[in-house]
Amino acid sequence: MNEFDAIVIGGGPAGLAEAYDLKAAGKNVAVVENYQWGGTCPNRGCDPKKILLSGVQARDRMVQLKGKGFSGDQVPFVKWSEIEAFKETYTSKIPDGSRDGIINAGITAIEGSPKFISDYQIDVDGKIYQADNFIIATGQRPSKLNIEGNENILTSTDFMNLKSMPKKITFIGAGYIAFELATIASSTGAEVHIVHHNDRPLKEFDESFVDDLVDQLKNRGIKFHFDIDTKSIAKFDDQYVLNADDFSLVSDLVVGATGRIPNVDKLDLEKAGVKYTRHGISTNGKLQTTNPRIYAIGDVVDKVQPKLTPIAGFDATYVASVITGKNDKEIVYPAIPTLVYGGPELAKVGISTDEAKKDPDNYRIVDQDLTKWFTYYRTNESIARAKVIFNKNDEIVGATVMSNEADEVINYLTLAINKKMKHNEISNTVFAYPTPASDLQYLI
Ligand SMILES: Cc1cc2nc3c(=O)[nH]c(=O)nc-3n(C[C@H](O)[C@H](O)[C@H](O)COP(=O)(O)OP(=O)(O)OC[C@H]3O[C@@H](n4cnc5c(N)ncnc54)[C@H](O)[C@@H]3O)c2cc1C
Ligand SMILES: NC(=O)c1ccc[n+]([C@@H]2O[C@H](COP(=O)([O-])OP(=O)(O)OC[C@H]3O[C@@H](n4cnc5c(N)ncnc54)[C@H](O)[C@@H]3O)[C@@H](O)[C@H]2O)c1
């Protein structure tokens, strides 16, 4: 029998952060992983995607400066095989590096498929392990449309590992993944289509910003097909036909990006009294499952917060503080920025414009076109825009930003929201000029 203070199930950002935190607090910890150490973000999510986006960013800078130092025929497409190979130099080291990291820290690394056999024991491929606490951190996987020919639909992981980019590629869905991967594919010169079942892509973002973003992607040549309910994908020779009512589209590859589903099905959670919904594992305000000795963290949790890497880490640190008796309060999340990467980037944090519009007595919305601001003028950006929301005390409480610098700007605004900053605190700070930070005094 192998006994531990805590066993973490899932070796992704949430599970590994949990294991490191508990080990640092003196606990005897094991982590069980059934696929790739490191999890989604560094192997097949945020990090490889952002390496592939480096090509988009480099190309966009040159496209923006056409006639201003670069002529049209000097702007090449991104060579997919080269950038994919570059991405591989990073991802290929992740699984071993992540596993070795925890082993070197004195954490036990177990490889295999765990199943609960009671609320204090799991069976991993015939071996029994026991712990006082379990932390489930098994994340999510791509959902698959329940339609005829769904075996012909690739996932975001398949896309990032393609050895060559086809001439024509179709994405089903218009959320984070479709927008980001479509932008990457288009930068290689591929003809890119996005098929969406309604006319409201990226529905969690301010609609007018999304309309602007769709226009920007159309300018890149990406073709949108809204209100198309995909019925089947048929394979003919080397091509795929997407069929819907009065609509069909032939392409060389079809990628599904219609959301992700929690990894709960292989764990025999019923044997441990852990309940879940189709959105993930149900927890209370302390991230305890319906069995109080078992916690759930990261993407696998059924929660309203967005399912992102920094939230996985935040959950992990919080649960470690609860298990080690340092904290008995419910988890409180700070303002959480979310960002669709691409060209341009679309980011938001805090109170949404819809919420603010419903309560004009308490919120003031300032919508600014930043295109002529020096930061954006010097790189000749075609669009730069920010909507900032203030409360009655003139503190910033929310923002939506779109530009090639939105990733940086949204982080500054997040800090300002969490610190309840007002205009005078920003204007009394000296920032390096000219930078997106030195623009802050005109935004807040
Ligand atoms: C294409 C893509 C791009 C993304 N981009 C971003 C981004 O830019 N920024 C951002 O913040 N987030 C991004 N995300 C989301 C981010 O990857 C996740 O929020 C993050 O990885 C969640 O961490 P986690 O540890 O909860 O889950 P995961 O990273 O999914 O890790 C779960 C681990 O558990 C393992 N596991 C699953 N089932 C079992 C089982 N039965 N037994 C044992 N182990 C199991 C898995 O193999 C995996 O290693 C992206 C996701 C995708 C798919
Ligand atoms: N930049 C980032 O932070 C980032 C990037 C990628 C992924 N992620 C994470 O991964 C999650 C999953 O991303 P995603 O893009 O797969 O999901 P998503 O939930 O963002 O978008 C899915 C889209 O597919 C649409 N859809 C659903 N069924 C459909 C159908 N039958 N036909 C056509 N469209 C359909 C939905 O309406 C939605 O627009 C995100 O919610 C986020 O948590 C984050």
**Same domain as 199, residue 51:** no
**Same domain as 19, residue 31:** yes
Ligand 1 center from residue 174 Cα (angstroms): 20
| Ligand nearest to the CA of residue 306, numbered in listed order | 2
**Domain assignment of residue 282, yes or no:** yes
**Same domain as 194, residue 86:** no
Q: Which of 290, 323, 356 is the last residue of a domain?
A: 323
- Name residue 194's beta-bridge partners: 171, 224
Bind-site residues: 50, 173-180, 259, 299
**Domain assignment of residue 389, yes or no:** yes
Ligand 1 lined by 350 (C-beta under 6 Å): no
**Same domain as 366, residue 240:** no
What pLDDT was estimated at residue 74?
76
**Domain assignment of residue 56, yes or no:** yes
**Same domain as 136, residue 252:** no
**Same domain as 164, residue 132:** no
Ligand 2 lined by 159 (C-beta under 6 Å): no
Ligand 1 center from residue 157 Cα (angstroms): 12
Bind-site residues for FAD: 50, 299
**Same domain as 126, residue 14:** yes
What pLDDT was estimated at residue 1?
56
Q: Which of 296, 323, 350 is the last residue of a domain?
A: 323
Give me the number of domains the chain comprises: 3
Nearest ligand 1 atom, CA 46: 5
Q: Which of 46, 53, 176, 410 to mutate to test the pocket of ligand 2 (most atoms within 8 A of CB)?
A: 176
What pLDDT was estimated at residue 279?
97
**Domain assignment of residue 72, yes or no:** no
**Domain assignment of residue 70, yes or no:** no
Please name the residue ranges forming H helices in 1-116. Answer: 13-24, 40-44, 46-64, 80-91, 94-104
Owner of token pair 């309840």: 420
Bind-site residues for NAD(+): 173-180, 259
Q: Give the contacts of 128 (CB within 8 A, at least 6 positions apart).
A: 1, 2, 117, 121, 122
We report the CATH number of the domain holding residue 33 as 3.50.50.60
**Same domain as 303, residue 352:** no
- Segment-wise mean pLDDT, segments of 10 residues, the chain, 444 residues: 93 98 98 98 98 97 93 88 98 98 98 97 97 98 97 98 98 98 98 97 97 97 98 97 98 98 97 98 98 98 97 98 97 98 95 94 97 97 97 95 98 96 90 96 95
We report the CATH number of the domain holding residue 348 as 3.30.390.30
**Domain assignment of residue 32, yes or no:** yes
Ligand 1 center from residue 23 Cα (angstroms): 22
Q: Which of 309, 318, 336 to mutate to test the pocket of ligand 1 (most atoms within 8 A of CB)?
A: 309
Structural element, H or E, at residue 319 = helix 309-323
**Domain assignment of residue 73, yes or no:** no
**Domain assignment of residue 329, yes or no:** no
Neighbours of 147 (CB within 10 A): 18
Contact 254, 235 (CB under 8 A): no
Q: Which of 46, 127, 411 to mutate to test the pocket of ligand 1 (most atoms within 8 A of CB)?
A: 46
In Å, what is the CA distance from 92 to each residue of 44, 88, 148?
Answer: 11, 6, 34
In Å, what is the CA distance from 223 to each residue of 192, 215, 375?
Answer: 6, 10, 30
What pLDDT was estimated at residue 342?
87
**Same domain as 253, residue 272:** no
Nearest to 156 by CA among 258, 11, 27, 304: 258
* Pair type for strands 2-9 and 127-136: parallel
**Same domain as 265, residue 253:** no
Residue 183: domain span: 150-258
Rg of the chain over all Cα atoms, to the nearest angstrom: 23
